[in-house]
Amino acid sequence: MAKKTEKTDKTNIQLIDEDAVCAEVMKQHPSVYDDLLFDEYNIKDKLEKNSYQYQQFRMLCLSEKHKLRKIEILRDEYIGKLYDRLRYEGTKTLTKVEIEKYYIPTDPKVMEFNRLYMRQEMRVDVYGYIAEAFKTQGFAMATYVKNMQI
């Protein structure tokens, strides 16, 4: 069973634990920290792997962005249906402002979509940062080799 990583603030809105999301991604890729470290003994192997690892994490980032977009589309579709239901099918006459300000943000399913969206957005960021770290490592290793030749 998955461990709950959300907390609740004073307004009873669920917050996402950024450290838990990062740890979850790093658990899936445990060798990242070691792969980003290099010295004169392993630099040749690291240089050979670097571009592959950069591309791998860029593709994972793009895949996570695609999932984020799916969540966004589903959330927007649900909000559109909810808006129509509240505006046109209810017995109360609600204004656009009332619906958008009070009813939509407090709907449990909208809140769940927003929580999923924030969590997925963090996953995209983590994969993006890892890809950027491998890109930076490539430049650092090139500089290191160049300085060793001097």
Give tens-digit pLDDT for 63-119: 999 999 999 999 999 999 999 999 888 778 888 999 999 999 999 999 999 999 999
Q: How many CB atoms lie within 10 A of CB 91?
A: 4
Instruction: State how far the Cα of 1 lies from the Cα of 40, in Å rounded to an integer.
Output: 43
The contacts of residue 4 (CB under 8 Å, 6+ apart) are: none
Angle between helices 108-149 and 18-28 (to 10 degrees): 60
Instruction: State how far the Cα of 27 lies from the Cα of 7, in Å rounded to an integer.
Output: 21
Q: What would the pLDDT profile of 21-68 be if each residue is shown by its tens digit?
A: 999 999 999 999 999 999 989 999 999 999 999 999 999 999 999 999
pLDDT value at position 37?
A: 93
Q: In degrees rounded to 5, what are phi and psi of residue 104? A: -65, -50
5 pLDDT tier (thresholds 50, 70, 90): very low
N- to C-terminal Cα distance for the chain?
Answer: 55
Angle at 146 between CA 143 and CA 150, to 5 degrees: 135
pLDDT value at position 149?
A: 84
Would the pLDDT of 2 be above 50?
no
